[in-house]
Amino acid sequence: MEISNLTSQITNYKYAKTILRLSVFALLAAVIVLMFPRYNNAFRYHYEIGKPWGYNTLTADFDFPIYKTDDQLAKEQTQLLSTFAPIFNYIPRVQREVKVVSLETMDWLQAEGYTRITLQQKKYPLSEVYTPMTAHKRFGYDCATNLVLDTVRTEELKAKLLATLSPTQGLVQKGEKIIDKGEVVTERNYQILQSLRRAYDDESLGNKQRTLSFLGEAMLVTLFLCLFVVYLYVFRRSYLRSTSTVLFFALQMFIVIALACLALRFGLSVYLIPFAWVPILTRVFFDSRTALFLHFTTILITSIVVPAPVEFFFIQIVVGMVAISSLGDMTRRAQLVQTAAWILLAQTIAYTAITFAQTGAWSSIDPWMYLHFAICGLLTVGCYGLIYGFEKLFRFISSITLVELTDINSELLHTLAERAPGTFQHSMQVSNLAAEAAKAIGANALLVRTGALYHDIGKITDPLYFVENQTGVENPLLKMDPRDAAQVVISHVTEGEKIARRNHLPEVIINFITTHHGTSLVRYFYNTYCNAHPKEQVDESLFRYPGLKPSTKEGAILMMADAIEARSRSLNEFTEASIAAVVNQMIDAQIADGQFAETPLSFKDVEDIRRVFTARLVAMNHHRISYPTLNK
């Protein structure tokens, strides 16, 4: 009953974790839809003059007027006001022989383009109106200002005049065709489409459409995210089981889509946003396929709200493919700069090509787009800071960090070389062996190389207890009880973990330290004790490493390489047969002990590893000829 309850609790816990991870995507979908700009929400078509209409043939669902453009209205207002004459009144008790206004009033009349004024219901040309200075020059005596603008009556009359100006010119009737699919948008088409957009802004027409549009956005965003989850479930299920990985994917999409929405809200170009961040960051920490799929998902969602979505999607697809192809395994900062340069070139070519393909005219090219691409390229380089931030936030590890950790001049490895030189050399050899084996089976060679350099770091504490550091000194472990000696040997794993954490090594490297012996026996002292006490029931736990067992291909490779490299040093002769025998013996023993039960190694992987280890050890211990001495 207790076992059944425990099993039920574990199952419920797993379901709860799964629901939590899926809820991250559900929350992301809700936030994204709420972030989308709500402008003209009922009319979601995107179009530009000189570019083809990218949708099906559009017909009017209702009657609507064709509104004049701002330029047309401004021109008609100017023409209408050219006949308008502002109203002036005489100032009481001031001589009226000459019509005189202040200099400021005259400047205003001329700036507004008025040619006449109204005085006592009569129109007078502006040439008959003077300022005090021009009146003195004209008549030879001083003339005081005697006219003052009647602002209230002038504005009332002006408003009545402008009210006669119609803001529309014509009517589109219900069912009338507006534009065909593929038809190039002319200025006339553009004016009609803008009028339709304005009609949709009318609350009496737009409420139903706005609701349906919001629902459509939510459905599309949910669909795209569900497709990404399906991809993870089918091809990368381990990612879906990791809460930190799911949060990493969701956070990336949120950041980039939020920046795009902000740009649209403030009228900025969406091409200023470095969408390449998504594939670059994902490729640095994970794999190319996931990086590309996540990038596709991100730009599909963004395409819902950007102008010219087809053009945007085409260009960003090119960006993602170039980013992933040019980056590879990022081991140097310069690679990011090179990737940004390739992205800039690809965006430029893609934009130019699609513009020519759509319009066939140089005049359709917007030079500002190239500036936007350049700014986007500079922002792409800023991804380096995000790599560091995500490493710390999610405890991931990048190739750049791994390369930095392999620097043998670092403080920790330098200390290992000084205090335990034999262990250091052993770690170097294991590192080379493990990296070659990892390459052969498609595992992460850089990761296992780095882990191998640190796997025995715990031997710094008491280096002379380990045979590789004993030069001309009797092994002190041989004087100890085998049980105590075994515990001293085992302690290098726990001490190594402590040292690694004090030096802030990444968790994935610490995992190599704690699993490189798994739960195997310290066979030398176990056998010694059993031989000395043949009738005693020996407690194996006193001679077994605490584990955990390795759970990755890289961890398994390191366990094999560590044991084989150490065992090969005891050989009296180094032949291919003797080395192959050691390799097979050690790997078979580890398999029989169940040390690789939790790893995804296949039979083929194991055979490839055997072959590589044998070849490498033969090469490392090849026979050298002896040099003859000089006869005297």
Say whether both 406 and 350 belong to one domain: no
Contact 139/98 with Cβ under 8 angstroms? yes
**Left (φ > 0), alpha (ψ -120 to 50) or beta: where does 49 sit?**
beta
Contact 618/433 with Cβ under 8 angstroms? no
- For the record, the structure tokens of 143 come out as 């003339």
Task: Answer with the residue of higher pLDDT: 391 or 457.
Answer: 457
Binning pLDDT at 50, 70 and 90, where does residue 626 land?
A: low
Quick one: which H or E segment has residue 149?
strand 147-149
pLDDT tens-digit readout, 273-310: 999 999 999 998 888 999 999 999 999 999 988 877 88
**Torsion sign (Cα): 419, 420, 425, 430:** negative
576-584, long-range: CB < 8 A, 24+ apart: 576/614, 576/618, 579/614, 579/617, 579/618, 579/621, 580/610, 580/614, 582/617, 583/610, 583/613, 583/614, 583/617, 584/610
Dihedral of CA atoms 286, 290, 291, 297 in degrees, nearest 10, equals -140
Q: Is 521 helix (H, G, I), strand (E, B) or coil?
A: strand
| Count, residues in the chain | 632
pLDDT tens-digit readout, 562-607: 999 988 887 877 788 888 999 999 999 999 999 999 999 999 999 9
Closest CA to 513 of 464, 450, 469, 468: 450
pLDDT > 60? residue 151: yes
| Spatial CB neighbours of 386, under 8 Å, sequence gap ≥ 6 | 277, 281
- For the record, the structure tokens of 130 come out as 């003077």
Is 587 inside a domain boundary?
A: yes
**38-67: average pLDDT:** 75
| Spatial CB neighbours of 520, under 8 Å, sequence gap ≥ 6 | 544, 545, 590, 593, 595
- pLDDT for 608 equals 95
Task: Answer with the residue of higher pLDDT: 294 or 4.
Answer: 294
Q: How far is CA 213 from CA 38, 207, 242, 279, 424, in A?
A: 10, 10, 34, 30, 65
**57-77: average pLDDT:** 86
Say whether both 483 and 601 belong to one domain: yes
The residue among 99, 134, 163 that closes a domain is 163
Binning pLDDT at 50, 70 and 90, where does residue 40 land?
A: very low
- pLDDT for 358 equals 75
Average pLDDT across the chain, whole number: 87
**91-113: average pLDDT:** 86
- pLDDT for 345 equals 94
Q: Which of 13-27, 109-123, 192-206 has the lowest mean pLDDT?
A: 192-206
Say whether both 251 and 358 belong to one domain: yes
The residue among 109, 129, 163 that closes a domain is 163
Is 251 inside a domain boundary?
A: yes
Q: Is 518 helix (H, G, I), strand (E, B) or coil?
A: coil
**107-121: average pLDDT:** 88
- pLDDT for 41 equals 47
- pLDDT for 330 equals 65
**536-558: average pLDDT:** 91
Is 188 inside a domain boundary?
A: no
**439-453: average pLDDT:** 93
Q: Which of 60-64, 179-183, 609-613, 618-622 has the lowest mean pLDDT?
A: 618-622
Q: How far is CA 122 from CA 86, 87, 125, 130, 153, in A?
A: 11, 9, 10, 17, 15
- pLDDT for 13 equals 56
Binning pLDDT at 50, 70 and 90, where does residue 341 land?
A: very high
Is 182 inside a domain boundary?
A: no
Closest CA to 558 of 398, 408, 370, 431: 431
Say whether both 356 and 422 belong to one domain: no
123 - beta bridge partners?
Answer: 118
Say whether both 534 and 405 belong to one domain: yes
Say whether both 90 and 144 belong to one domain: yes
Is 442 inside a domain boundary?
A: yes
CATH label of the domain that carries residue 436: 1.10.3210
Is 53 inside a domain boundary?
A: no
Q: Which of 9-13, 179-183, 225-229 has the lowest mean pLDDT?
A: 9-13
Q: Is pTM, for the whole model, over 0.85?
A: no
Contact 287/324 with Cβ under 8 angstroms? no
521 - beta bridge partners?
Answer: 544
Q: Which of 3-7, 207-211, 498-502, 592-596 has the lowest mean pLDDT?
A: 3-7
Say whether both 592 and 447 belong to one domain: yes
**165-170: average pLDDT:** 87
DSSP codes of every residue in 250-265: HHHHHHHHHHHHHHHH
pLDDT > 70? residue 66: yes
Total number of domains in the chain: 3
Is 47 inside a domain boundary?
A: no
Say whether both 609 and 463 belong to one domain: yes
Binning pLDDT at 50, 70 and 90, where does residue 559 land?
A: very high
pLDDT tens-digit readout, 402-429: 888 998 888 999 999 999 999 999 999 9
Task: Answer with the residue of higher pLDDT: 10 or 113.
Answer: 113
Q: Is 52 helix (H, G, I), strand (E, B) or coil?
A: strand
Say whether both 219 and 350 belong to one domain: yes
Closest CA to 373 of 457, 315, 444: 315
The residue among 340, 362, 394 that closes a domain is 394
Dihedral of CA atoms 188, 189, 193, 194 in degrees, nearest 10, equals -30
Residue-number span of the structural domain to which 371 is assigned: 2-39+207-394
Q: Which of 75-79, 92-96, 496-500 has the lowest mean pLDDT?
A: 92-96
Say whether both 266 and 333 belong to one domain: yes
**Left (φ > 0), alpha (ψ -120 to 50) or beta: where does 121 sit?**
left
Say whether both 216 and 356 belong to one domain: yes
- pLDDT for 555 equals 94
Binning pLDDT at 50, 70 and 90, where does residue 207 land?
A: low
Binning pLDDT at 50, 70 and 90, where does residue 441 land?
A: very high
Is 367 inside a domain boundary?
A: yes
**476-495: average pLDDT:** 91
CB atoms within 10 A of CB 337: 14
Say whether both 443 and 582 belong to one domain: yes
